[in-house]
Amino acid sequence: MNKYFFNIYKALYTVLIGMRITFKQMFRHAVTHQYPYQRPFEKKRNVRDIPKGYRGQLFNRIEDCIGCKKCEMICPVDCIAITTQKLPKGERLWDSMNVVHLKDRSEVVGFVEGDEKVAPDTTVTIKTRDEQTLTIPSGDIDRIVERKPVIFYLDKFDIDMSLCMYCGLCTEVCPTECLIMFDDMKGIEYSTFDRMELVFPFAKPEMYKDDAAVEAEEAT
């Protein structure tokens, strides 16, 4: 009999302990977020800095993409889809150029004059696409790569980030280094109600049109 009443007492005591914690919590700030409607963790100070070299969201600087499809072929999960049209024989969209990657992670696209190898304590002269001439100290340069002429029109260049496993292989093989992975908050988390929103299209068919065609289209 004693045990019976002791069990009732124990049950009530346990409930009261639980209710005490619940009651205390009612007067404190909520620590939960209505995710994905609220993303305050992106702004909170307790988020650590993203380390340099972190593999985040993929981005293609499509102006420098030559449509070689190396990234599509190496992707182990087929999340890159490219369709191209070959230009008529003998035609190319632009000549071979150089991409000068600076140590501050910016870059200059144009023609490097003279030797493309960077000797220490010298300067490198580059003629940009808008006909400017820039002289860059070799100490500021990380590396110089060659951007090959474009012989394909890119009709489609889609990356499905919902499939991507962030291995970075596609960026390693890209000969023009136009395919990169952001190392910032972009791509740190994805949440959407429609998976198609995670397919990022990069192709810009309009960039292949000459100025006259664009003006004619705009006039109509």
CB of 122 to ligand SF4, least distance (A): 29
**Spatial separation of the C-alpha atoms in residues 58 and 56, rounded to whole Å:** 6
Of 37-45, 98-106, 168-176, 212-220, the window that binds ligand SF4 (rule: CB under 6 A) is 168-176
With left for phi above 0 and alpha for psi between -120 and 50, is residue 97 left, alpha or beta?
beta
Of 19-27, 68-76, 106-114, 137-145, the window that binds ligand SF4 (rule: CB under 6 A) is 68-76
Query: For ligand SF4, which is the closer residue by CB, 72 or 124?
Result: 72
> Counting contacts by CB under 6 A, is residue 203 touching ligand SF4?
no
Build a one-symbol-per-residue string for 175-194: x at contacts with ligand SF4 by CB under 6 A, - elsewhere: xx-xx---------------
> Counting contacts by CB under 6 A, is residue 168 touching ligand SF4?
yes
Cα–Cα–Cα angle for 202, 197, 84, rounded to 5 degrees: 30
> Counting contacts by CB under 6 A, is residue 67 touching ligand SF4?
yes
Backbone torsions φ then ψ of 120, nearest 5 degrees:
-65, 150
> Counting contacts by CB under 6 A, is residue 80 touching ligand SF4?
yes
- Pick from 47, 134, 165, 214 the residue near ligand SF4 by CB under 6 A: 165
> Counting contacts by CB under 6 A, is residue 174 touching ligand SF4?
yes
Site size toward ligand SF4 (CB under 6 A) is 30
Contacts with 85 (C-beta within 8 Å, 6 or more apart), sequence order: 152, 153, 155
Of 34-42, 62-70, 121-129, 188-196, the window that binds ligand SF4 (rule: CB under 6 A) is 62-70
Q: End-to-end distance of the chain based on CA atoms, in angstroms?
A: 94
Return residues touching ligand SF4 (CB under 6 A): 58, 60, 65-71, 74-77, 79-80, 82, 159, 164-170, 173-176, 178-179
